[in-house]
Structure formats: structure tokens, C-alpha cells
Amino acid sequence: MRRACLPFLSLLLAPACAAPADSGGAAAPVDTAAAMAAVEDVWSRWVMADTAGDADAFVALFAEDAQVDVMGAPPMMGRAAIDSLVRGMFAARDYTSMDMRIATTYVESADLVNQGGGYVETYVEGGRTMTEYGRFVSSMMRQPDGQWRVMYVMAFADSTTPAR
């Protein structure tokens, strides 16, 4: 019985093992400069919303199904969860400066860019001015509406010190 099944099984698996059909041409080149400009724009709006304390503008930078992992906070899935964290943080702190320091960039496609680096953020909380130094990784994607938004970000502070 086993030998009778082998030819039948090979007929079923043959299409799965075949080389993919030629689509008729090479993939279109990725416009790396356009993708980089779009991501730089997102970071610029991130810094503006952060230092202005504009929770609506900040949350709008994230895709509906974005995920955020920030040290000291539970993992957040979706814009509503991100919104609740951001509003609480903006209510507790007055962010006065933010500097994103991009160390690595990978333009994966015309619609996906991954980055990593560091950040320096200064804020006032409880009457004390503090500066936080940390690291992050992020993924940004062009959404169906054409806008680039954050899909994933993980950030953690390396140190927080009184501002100078």
C-alpha cells in the first residue's frame, strides 16, 4: 500500500517544488531617497508632537494596528492602547526637547523602512527637569492611504539624569 501512495504523493508535491513562474520582468527599483524622506518626515512630526504635548498628532503617527514596547509599560497593540499611554505621559510630563539619533536604516522595500538608534529627551515632571537617554528600534510602513506611519517601536531608557 505504501508504494502505491508514493507516485500519487509525488504528483501532488511536484507543483509545490517547481520553480516560481517568471513574472515577465525584474522588480521595479526601490526609490530609497523617497522612502528615507518619508521616514524623516515622520520623525520630524514625532518630535514636534512630542515637544508640543499634542497627543492627537502624536497618536496619529501610528498605524491602527501598530505595536509599541516601552520599558516600564505593558506592551501596547493598536492605536487605542497607544493613545491611553501617550495621554497619561503627556499629562504627567512637559516634554521640552527630543532628539532622535538614527544609527541604522534598512530600506526593505518602497513601503517598509526599519531603523534603530538612540534618543535624548528632556522633560519636566513634578517640578524637576530630567533628561532621558535611550535606544529604540522601529518599523515604518506606507499605509493604504499613502501615509507613512509607525508600525512598531521598541524603546528603553539607558539612563535618566537631572537636566543640565
Residue 77 lies in a domain: yes
Maximum CA extent, the chain? 81
Name 32's Cβ contacts closer than 8 Å, sequence gap at least 6.
Answer: 107
Number of domains in the chain: 1
Residue 144 belongs to domain spanning: 31-162
More confident residue, 136 or 73: 136
79-105 mean pLDDT: 95
Measuring CA to CA, which residue among 82, 73, 78 is closest to residue 49?
82
Residue range 29-82, pLDDT digits in tens: 889 999 999 999 999 999 999 999 999 999 999 999 999 999 888 899 999 999
Average model confidence (pLDDT) across the chain: 86
36: CATH: 3.10.450.50
Give dist(CA 55, CA 101) in Å, integer.
22
